[in-house]
Structure 1
């Protein structure tokens, strides 16, 4: 089948703002694909270019080299078949939860009543049926993440791009959100490209995990099929023998790169 996302030989090189003339290659020679209905996570050291690849797949960043195809077609400009859930807050503080969720529908020209009904339905799906009139400051961190999730999924994208969306949450809320995402994904089976620094999260949620090297010129150094049966509870499967085996195998590839990335961060801070 034609992949939903297909990156081939992608490189992203930037000119340094601090030292004009100097160039920094964040990722180089990256080839990866995400099948329709597949959940793929990318892990790697801090600063290895994970979010850069997500921005390339979203059409927010044009690669310096290589090709990007979405369902077999070359990507030109913004990827209109993708929904993007950011790591940082994406809700508009002056709009209620309902109005945040229906904003994308408004921009698409969906009639007001239809947009409102769809927003209410998605708030119910993420467990916020009675909170549509609340403003972001009146919601907990987990509730704001649920609203952001509804905001992304209400547009029914064929591809979901997620950039460490739960990293700021406490562990209990995080696990609840992870399970909710898996339930919603199982119902619709969209293609998901998920960026995380948390190896446990990547294994628990994914069909495949791709490991990136430390930067600069980060590139894939490992790919692992996650053959744990679904449906999964992200807390329960972490005690299973297969989860522990996969974690050890992936960490054996990641460990040296994480140490390299850590040393690079120390050098930058010195």
Structure 2
């Protein structure tokens, strides 16, 4: 078997309140998770189950309290230089145009300006924004900003793509267009993807595997499902197939109780 692109082994993250060291919160506990090279893996679970914590472990933004994180067989130390991270929140610099935003990462890496510009223009074309490079974020729609963020991530040609609910703020039509664009780009490049989402339909439509997390605290994987739907896929059309509906029912049977637990915990906090 080939070495996984990303591997979490018995990883846990416990946060300690510096003002009160006795106050501890374990977000995830005993998580073992792999993403193969070229594999698209989604993680679903209730609010507060530590999905973003897992992504931050994979990015090297957090170190595990226990357990290990490996990238292509090597222990991860510090920031994961082989990963690109597409955030849920807006990550564009408002004072830079779309072209300037996509060029930024290349410039920070020391790529000569002319080469950085050519690569950025190429990726803007790939995401359908070839004619909008001079637009600033406030001049773009939500979908255009997401396309720019996608180009900003992919222009660096990362081996691993980390995505934290990147389309949750979009309307359903724009969201489905973006999902299909991501799948088309992924199909061409076959990078490893770890995708975080609350939307079970989205997870099934896009992924090779779906991992279900338990309600927090001390969240852990409680189910893993292979998504054997034929590729390439259209995310809207595949939702109507019997195979998709069967997968949705099977995963929801595991996820439903955890969502209810998470909801009850939120009510108690309020």
Common topology (TM > 0.5): yes
Cross-structure match for 1:7: 8
C-alpha displacement of 1:257: 0.3
Cross-structure match for 1:35: 36
Cross-structure match for 1:127: 128
C-alpha displacement of 1:148: 0.1
* Distance in 1, Cα, partners of 2:257 & 2:60: 31
Secondary structure of residue in 1 paired with 2:22: coil
Tell me which moved more, 8-17 or 71-80.
8-17
5 Å-filtered alignment, 1:39-188, equals 39-188=40-189
* Distance in 2, Cα, partners of 1:259 & 1:113: 53
Cross-structure match for 2:260: 259
Cα distance change, pair 231–254 in 1 and its aligned pair in 2 (3 A): same
Secondary structure of residue in 2 paired with 1:144: helix
User: 1:223-253: per-residue Cα shift (whole Å, max 9, x none)?
Assistant: 0000000000000000000000000000000
Structure 1 regions of 5+ residues with no counterpart?
none
* Distance in 2, Cα, partners of 1:265 & 1:40: 27
Secondary structure of residue in 2 paired with 1:21: strand
Cross-structure match for 2:24: 23
C-alpha displacement of 1:180: 0.1
Cross-structure match for 1:242: 243
Structure 2 regions of 5+ residues with no counterpart?
none
5 Å-filtered alignment, 1:220-239, equals 220-239=221-240
Cross-structure match for 2:213: 212
Alignment of 1:189 with 2:193, yes or no, is: no
C-alpha displacement of 1:16: 3.6
* Distance in 2, Cα, partners of 1:18 & 1:191: 39
Structure 1 stretches of 4+ with a deviation exceeding 6 A read: none
C-alpha displacement of 1:17: 6.5
* Distance in 2, Cα, partners of 1:19 & 1:78: 28
User: 1:182-210: per-residue Cα shift (whole Å, max 9, x none)?
Assistant: 00000000000000000000000000000
The alignment's TM-score, normalised by the length of structure 2, stands at: 0.99
* Distance in 1, Cα, partners of 2:65 & 2:97: 40
C-alpha displacement of 1:15: 1.4
* Distance in 1, Cα, partners of 2:202 & 2:97: 30
* Distance in 1, Cα, partners of 2:203 & 2:148: 22
